Amino acid sequence: MAENTANAPVKKKKRKNSKLADTWRLFKKRKTSVLGLIIFSIILFMVLCAPLFVEKSKVEESDWEYLNSPPVAGHPFGTDDLGRDLFARVLYGGRNSLEIGLVSMVCALFMGVVIGSLCGYFGGVLDQIVMRVLDVLKSIPTTVLALAIVAALGGSKTNLILAIMISQTPAQVRLVRSAVIGIAGREYFEAARACGTSTPRIIFKHIVPNCIGTVIIQASMAMAQMILQAASLSFIGLGIQPPEPEWGSMLSGAREFMSSAPWQMIFPGLFIMLSAYSFNLIGDGLRDALDPKLRS
Amino acid sequence: MSKKDLYKNTDGEKFIETDKLLIIKNLEVIYKTDKTTVHAVNGIDLELGKGETIGLVGETGAGKTTTALSILRLLPEVTAHTPHGEIYFNGENLIQAPEERMRDIRGDKISMIFQDPMTALNPVYTVGEQIYEALELHAPEHKTKEELNARVDEVLKMVGITPERKNEYPHQFSGGMKQRVVIAMALACEPELLIADEPTTALDVTIQAQVLIMMRELRDRLGTAMIMITHDLGIVAQTCDKVAVMYAGEIIESGTAEDIYNSGKRHPYTEGLFGSIPDLTEDTDRLKPIPGLMPDPTNLPKGCYFSPRCPYATDKCRSEHPPVHVDGDHKIACWLFAEKEE
Amino acid sequence: MSENINPTVSEATPLIETRHLKKYFKVRKGLLHAVDDINIKIMPGKTIGVVGESGCGKSTLGRTILRLIEPTEGEVLYDGENIVPYGKHEMNKMRRNMQLIFQDPYSSLNPRMSVSELIAEYMIVNKTCKTRAEVWDRVDELMETVGLAERFAGAFPHELDGGRRQRIGIARALSLDPKFIVCDEPVSALDVSIQAQILNLLMDLQDQRGLTYMFITHDLSVVKHISDEIMVMYLGQCVEIAPSKELFKNPVHPYTQALLAAIPIPDVSMRHKEIEVIKGELTSPINPKPGCRFASRCKYATPKCTEGDLTLNDLGNGHFSTCVMHQQ
């Protein structure tokens, strides 16, 4: 027995060959996706490590000597009409924007996997009811739905996340559900039942790992949409409340000065565009890398 | 270099004088992907006279289908290359033929039947429409609509389907009936050569017997030459005049059916194939399988490709590629027979 | 051998027995009789071959015996005990004794699990081992038993060929030490030389472990070696059942004769012999008429064939057939 335990770590290693390396190899083949990953990493680094570049206090501090100033030394992105440093506002505002995007994506994904796999696995009446409710939700344009939710609950970060999550959930549920139904027809599913595997184990061991690829791809694509949605809700004043910075609301505030001080729009707009774009590129790469047909 | 250039080579002449229907010389096909090079066909020679039937026997990955597809030049253009080889059809080198010429040949002079009848038919057209289209493309002698429609009926009758069913869709037919329709389409233009790639593997035994008998009758009546690709030695025995056994992209043995089945002289691999099939007339308790697996086509062994699995393999087999031992029509690529000569 | 099948003289308890087992599926056009009144007995350590063409209900029969499909009517007896009324919990326990080997070694293995995880899964689910180390030891042992090299332990199914994948399926089925295994066309997706390897492996395992098999196939030549007795099915019904050698020597039912005649024989001297082929194709088993379902394709058919219900007629030597020609 002692010998077995001693061998255990060595044995454990060979129990599963890594798929990660293979995925990375295929992901790397698509240069644009690597570019997307690099762009997003830079944005994420700048936003998370914002204190390295600029102090937090600068976000709300007005520099009265520089009102509506174009980019100068000390204010690399220029300033807004109240003399606030745009560089600091873009970096710290990004924390809000990306947080809303990422958190709502993870929540929508979680809801999608749970509801979708339950519906796909059990089918029947439960499936019918859930699907019809989601159909109703889906028939309302996502932005209008999010708008209604924020309008009803009031504009705060949590409500914004909730709104975006709810508006994105139906698409995720449908996707997971159809993937589960596809898998449920496979023989390995029957093999699992033949030895008396419990339902949760079937779902988490046999179903979720086999549809997670599709889900990740879909989610990385939807992520771009969610960042844009967060920005557009803030743009119409229903998201993060001023003076707290957020890319969408910054864009909105800069509208009046579009012709006189275009940099006020350009920088937050550029960051929104780049992060959405980079996520789309990453999604494309993941689709190729996780497609089993391109493997082996 | 464009894709087309990779697909061709300049071996041999554009035309040669011959009375053979098909001559394949030293054909080599490789599939290149980002990581690996698969040696699918490694220098095969094959000859087929008019009206003859040859059985191409081998297991999955032996290169049977690749050979067939390269005759029709239907190999996937992105990955497949033919670095060597000549394929003469009626004396015309198909490897060098322009694509427009190939389009005339496919379906008209050479037809192919695939393994799976379910995917070979278009589900949104009726069976009659699909045969009509094949005829319209390739049969200039039947010009008018009435003539073509009459020919559709005739073709369906030929494969034992009542013409009334021509207005039905493929999903209304059973598997055996679908394969009959596919055969009807392939034979509608009375091609000189029919390539049948495992035509009955997807069918039940009783239906397989029906389809095989029908194919045999039609071949004899129309005088079509046939390449029958199969892994079933029984089917070959019942339908083919000549046999070529493929292993790892090579023809390791060829000859008349009698040579292979009755002469008592066989390549060890052919011997192994015969040992693997359960004999219905004899009482044996255990089968004699060939040990091991097919070699990896990306990394073929040195010497004879069969040597790692061969019970008679010597050091010579493992280091040098075997010469071809010729005895009349019977050719065996094996050191066992080469040494006897010396 | 004969007393094992003859219902009146059996002394020992068969490991598996079905009594009037029926499975009907409701379809739009009526009732599909997939399994219709099947009575078989399989003695411990023996193999029954179930032969028939696609759609004859042979796979449904195998799955109904394992209760992966609930029977419509009838009993399934395991070691003399009817398992049909068993609840979910009892059945899960029972499943350890009864396993299934699948036809398709491609879709029956979860592509996201490695070879050793696949083999370990059944043991982990059924908690047959106390520690993980014990599970992995068992996995290594099973891999050796079925002839899978140790280096494949971490590989994924898509990296392996069909023969090796089928070996995983066999190792997995053996992992719970079952007594009875339903082999559902385990070699029909494999190449001939690999088929023979797998068939030999299955026979060796039977010798070593005293396993009892139900071997389902469409290919009569495959079951010849492995089976002690063979049952021929046509549209949900058993038309002939006999000891293996007897069936090949003396097939009495016209359908069995047709099946045997249809196998292409690898002998060139037979090529010019006219083989007799049955006409037509399988009709559908939806709302079947009474009597012999093969009658519409049978050249010996008489009006008597479609009158009344079928009975298995005892022809001696453990040979039974439903054909009315042999009725005494």
* Chain B hits for C270, Cβ within 8 Å: 237-238
> Tell me, what's the pLDDT at A2?
39
H or E segment to which residue A42 belongs: helix A31-48
Q: Which whole number is the average pLDDT over A46-50?
A: 88
HSE-up of B9 (CA within 13 Å, CB side)? 16
> Tell me, what's the pLDDT at C213?
95
List the single best residue of C268, C276, C296, C299 to mutate versus B (max B Cβ within 10 A): C268
> Is residue C200 a part of any domain in this protein?
no
Same domain, residue pair C127 and C77: no
> Tell me, what's the pLDDT at C11?
61
Tokens of B338: 């080469």
B208 touches chain C (CB under 8 A): yes
B235 touches chain C (CB under 8 A): yes
Q: Comparing C318 with A291, which gets the higher pLDDT?
A: C318
Same domain, residue pair C44 and C32: yes
pLDDT confidence tier of residue A63, bands split at 50, 70 and 90 = confident
> Tell me, what's the pLDDT at A9?
40
Q: Comparing C222 with C166, which gets the higher pLDDT?
A: C166
Q: C215: exposed, middle or buried (C-beta count within 10 Å: 0-12, 13-18, 19+)?
A: buried
Residue C50 belongs to domain spanning: 1-97+178-189+205-265+273-328
Tokens of C162: 């069909």
Selecting from C99, C110, C116 the residue whose C-beta is nearest the C-beta of A188 gives: C110
pLDDT confidence tier of residue A296, bands split at 50, 70 and 90 = very low
Name beta bridge partners: B31. B38, B80
pLDDT confidence tier of residue A14, bands split at 50, 70 and 90 = low
Q: Which whole number is the average pLDDT over B166-187?
A: 86
> Is residue C25 a part of any domain in this protein?
yes
CATH number of the domain that residue C221 is part of: 3.40.50.300
Same domain, residue pair C123 and C9: no
List the single best residue of C64, C125, C159 to mutate versus A (max A Cβ within 10 A): C125
Got the DSSP string for A51-73? HHHS-GGGGT-B-TT-SSPPSBT
Got the DSSP string for C163-221? HHHHHHHHHHHHTT--SEEEEESTTTTS-HHHHHHHHHHHHHHHHHH--EEEEEES-HH
Residue with token string 């058993």: C238
> Tell me, what's the pLDDT at C238?
92
The pLDDT tens digits for C218-268 are 888 888 888 999 999 998 899 999 999 899 889 999 999 988 888 888 888
pLDDT confidence tier of residue A197, bands split at 50, 70 and 90 = confident
Angle at B72 between CA B71 and CA B73, to 5 degrees: 90
> Is residue C254 a part of any domain in this protein?
yes
Across the interface, whether the CB atoms of A197 and C104 are under 8 A apart is answered: no
SS3 C38: strand
Pairing of strands B250-256, B242-247: antiparallel
Across the interface, whether the CB atoms of C126 and A195 are under 8 A apart is answered: yes
> Tell me, what's the pLDDT at B192?
92
H or E segment to which residue A110 belongs: helix A86-122
> Tell me, what's the pLDDT at C166?
92
Residue with token string 């690829």: A213
Contact between C225 and C203 (Cβ < 8 Å): yes
> Tell me, what's the pLDDT at B245?
94
Residue A207 CA to residue A193 CA, distance in Å, equals 12
Residue C216 CA to residue C204 CA, distance in Å, equals 18
pTM for the whole structure = 0.81
Contact between A283 and A225 (Cβ < 8 Å): no
Across the interface, whether the CB atoms of C263 and B205 are under 8 A apart is answered: yes
Classify residue A204 by its DSSP letter. I
Across the interface, whether the CB atoms of B205 and C219 are under 8 A apart is answered: yes
C109-to-A142, A199, C156, C160 alpha-carbon distances in Å = 39, 18, 9, 12
Residue A184 CA to residue A208 CA, distance in Å, equals 11
Same domain, residue pair C51 and C84: yes
List the single best residue of C106, C121, C182 to mutate versus A (max A Cβ within 10 A): C121
Same domain, residue pair C215 and C123: no
SS3 B177: helix
Same domain, residue pair C85 and C114: no
> Tell me, what's the pLDDT at B172?
84
> Is residue C47 a part of any domain in this protein?
yes
* Chain B hits for C147, Cβ within 8 Å: none
- The answer on pLDDT for C18 being more than 50 is yes
pLDDT confidence tier of residue A18, bands split at 50, 70 and 90 = low
Q: Comparing B157 with A9, which gets the higher pLDDT?
A: B157
- Quote the distance between the C-alpha of residue C75 and its chain's center: 18
> Tell me, what's the pLDDT at A12?
45
Residue B31 phi, psi (nearest 5): -110, 125
Same domain, residue pair C327 and C215: yes
List the single best residue of B179, B204, B288, B296 to mutate versus C (max C Cβ within 10 A): B204
Tell me how close the Cα of B119 comes to any Cα of chain C, in angstroms.
Answer: 19
Selecting from C125, C133, C134 the residue whose C-beta is nearest the C-beta of A197 gives: C125
Contact between B93 and B27 (Cβ < 8 Å): no
ipTM surpassing 0.85: no
Residue C169 CA to residue C102 CA, distance in Å, equals 7
The pLDDT tens digits for B96-109 are 888 888 888 888 89
Residue C187 CA to residue C198 CA, distance in Å, equals 7
Tell me how close the Cα of C43 comes to any Cα of chain B, in angstroms.
Answer: 20
Across the interface, whether the CB atoms of C218 and B289 are under 8 A apart is answered: no
Residue B199 CA to residue B64 CA, distance in Å, equals 13
Beta strands in A166-268, from DSSP E residues, in sequence order: none
Torsion of Cα atoms, B207 then B213 then B215 then B220, to 10°:
-170
Q: Comparing A219 with C242, which gets the higher pLDDT?
A: C242
Residue C165 CA to residue C101 CA, distance in Å, equals 11
> Tell me, what's the pLDDT at B340?
57
Selecting from C224, C267, C278 the residue whose C-beta is nearest the C-beta of B278 gives: C224
Selecting from A8, A188, A205 the residue whose C-beta is nearest the C-beta of C109 gives: A188
pLDDT confidence tier of residue B295, bands split at 50, 70 and 90 = confident
What lies within 8 Å, CB to CB, of C9 at 6+ separation is: C3
* Chain A hits for C138, Cβ within 8 Å: none
Same domain, residue pair C158 and C261: no
Across the interface, whether the CB atoms of C196 and B280 are under 8 A apart is answered: no
What lies within 8 Å, CB to CB, of C207 at 6+ separation is: none
Name beta bridge partners: B47. B23
Tokens of C3: 């007393």
* Chain C hits for A209, Cβ within 8 Å: 110, 112
Q: Which residue does chain C place closest to B62, by CA atoms?
A: C191
Same domain, residue pair C144 and C216: no
- The answer on pLDDT for B195 being more than 50 is yes
Selecting from A15, A188, A292 the residue whose C-beta is nearest the C-beta of C114 gives: A15
Across the interface, whether the CB atoms of B209 and C264 are under 8 A apart is answered: yes
pLDDT confidence tier of residue A6, bands split at 50, 70 and 90 = very low
B288 touches chain C (CB under 8 A): yes
Residue B140 CA to residue B104 CA, distance in Å, equals 12
Across the interface, whether the CB atoms of B237 and C54 are under 8 A apart is answered: no
HSE-up of A37 (CA within 13 Å, CB side)? 14
Tokens of A283: 């999604």
Q: What is the mean pLDDT of chain B?
A: 86
Across the interface, whether the CB atoms of B285 and C281 are under 8 A apart is answered: no
Q: Which whole number is the average pLDDT over B230-254?
A: 91
User: Omega into B323 within 30° of 0, i.e. cis?
Assistant: no
> Is residue C197 a part of any domain in this protein?
no
Closest among B251, B243, B309, B244 to B276, alpha carbons compared: B309
Same domain, residue pair C47 and C184: yes
Neighbours of B41 (CB within 10 A): 29
* Chain A hits for C68, Cβ within 8 Å: 190, 193-194
* Chain C hits for B59, Cβ within 8 Å: 191-194
pLDDT confidence tier of residue B1, bands split at 50, 70 and 90 = very low
Number of folded domains that form chain C:
2
> Is residue C199 a part of any domain in this protein?
no
How many pairs of residues across A and C have Cβ atoms under 8 Å apart?
A: 89
Neighbours of A233 (CB within 10 A): 26
Residue A73 CA to residue C299 CA, distance in Å, equals 101
Contact between C268 and B261 (Cβ < 8 Å): yes
Residue B86 CA to residue B89 CA, distance in Å, equals 10
pLDDT confidence tier of residue B89, bands split at 50, 70 and 90 = very high
HSE-up of B36 (CA within 13 Å, CB side)? 10
Q: Comparing C17 with B264, which gets the higher pLDDT?
A: C17
**Single-letter code of the amino acid located at A16:** K
pLDDT confidence tier of residue A13, bands split at 50, 70 and 90 = very low
Q: Which residue does chain A place closest to C153, by CA atoms?
A: A15
> Tell me, what's the pLDDT at A209?
81
pLDDT confidence tier of residue C41, bands split at 50, 70 and 90 = very high
> Tell me, what's the pLDDT at B148?
86
Residue with token string 């030999």: C200
Name beta bridge partners: C216. C50, C184
Residue A40 CA to residue A22 CA, distance in Å, equals 22
A154-to-A157, A159, A245, C89 alpha-carbon distances in Å = 10, 7, 18, 51
Q: Which whole number is the average pLDDT over B205-210?
A: 84
Q: Which whole number is the average pLDDT over B238-258?
A: 92
Residue C15 phi, psi (nearest 5): -70, -45
Tokens of C24: 């009907």
- The answer on pLDDT for B139 being more than 90 is no
> Is residue C154 a part of any domain in this protein?
yes
> Tell me, what's the pLDDT at C190?
84
Pairing of strands B250-256, B22-32: unpaired
Classify residue A205 by its DSSP letter. I
Across the interface, whether the CB atoms of C117 and A15 are under 8 A apart is answered: yes
The pLDDT tens digits for A231-269 are 888 888 777 777 788 888 888 888 888 888 888 888 888
Q: Which residue does chain A place closest to C124, by CA atoms?
A: A197
Residue B294 phi, psi (nearest 5): -55, 140
> Is residue C194 a part of any domain in this protein?
no
Across the interface, whether the CB atoms of B205 and C218 are under 8 A apart is answered: yes
- The answer on pLDDT for C210 being more than 60 is yes
Selecting from A187, A188, A195 the residue whose C-beta is nearest the C-beta of C176 gives: A195
Q: Calculate what percentage of chain B has a pLDDT beyond 70.
A: 93
- The answer on pLDDT for A64 being more than 90 is no
* Chain B hits for C203, Cβ within 8 Å: 286
- The answer on pLDDT for C133 being more than 70 is yes
SS3 C243: strand
Q: What is the mean pLDDT of chain A?
A: 81
Q: Comparing A292 with C14, which gets the higher pLDDT?
A: C14
Chain C residues in contact with chain B using a Cβ-Cβ cutoff of 8 Å: 53-54, 161-163, 191-197, 199-200, 203, 218-222, 224-225, 245, 248, 258-271, 275, 277-279, 281-282
H or E segment to which residue A194 belongs: helix A187-194
The pLDDT tens digits for A114-157 are 899 889 888 889 899 999 999 888 888 878 888 888 888 877 88
Q: Which whole number is the average pLDDT over C145-167?
A: 86
Same domain, residue pair C133 and C256: no
Residue with token string 């970060």: A157
Contact between C316 and C227 (Cβ < 8 Å): no
> Tell me, what's the pLDDT at B7?
54
Same domain, residue pair C90 and C123: no
Contact between C185 and C216 (Cβ < 8 Å): yes
The pLDDT tens digits for B10-55 are 677 788 888 899 999 999 999 887 677 889 999 999 999 998 999 9
The pLDDT tens digits for A20-36 are 777 787 788 888 889 99
Classify residue B292 by its DSSP letter. S
Tell me how close the Cα of C193 comes to any Cα of chain B, in angstroms.
Answer: 5
Selecting from C116, C122, C172 the residue whose C-beta is nearest the C-beta of A15 gives: C116
> Tell me, what's the pLDDT at C167?
92
